[in-house]
Amino acid sequence: MINDLLKSPGVRLPIASTILKFYQPKAFPIIDQRAYYQLFSEKLPHNAGTETYLQYIKKCIDVGKRYNIPFEKIDEVLYQKDKEEGHKLN
């Protein structure tokens, strides 16, 4: 499913993951620069694809379990944490 979305013109991983989140929030977190940075301490690669998303999901599961954060909220928590820490987006 993610591969089909990524083949669509103008759809990169953040948009594809958003579509999937609305389809099934308990299975697909939104990936964006802020949440990705909180997990990996680096910028989300411009050409990020399926493998990056799968690694992100696995890390979200681990962090959610460690800190008792519901999976469907993990992306929001990571985004907010990054914002509060004041990281600048380029």
Residue 43 CB-half CA count within 13 A: 7
Q: Report pTM.
A: 0.92
Q: pLDDT > 90: what percent of the chain?
A: 91
- pLDDT, tens only, 16-27: 999 999 999 999
Banded model confidence at residue 34, pLDDT cuts 50, 70, 90: very high
The CA distance from 73 to 11, in Å, is: 23
Name residue, tokens 């992306």. Answer: 75
Question: What element of type H or E holds 78?
Answer: helix 74-85
- pLDDT, tens only, 37-66: 999 999 999 999 999 999 999 999 999 999
Q: Is the pLDDT of residue 90 over 70?
A: no
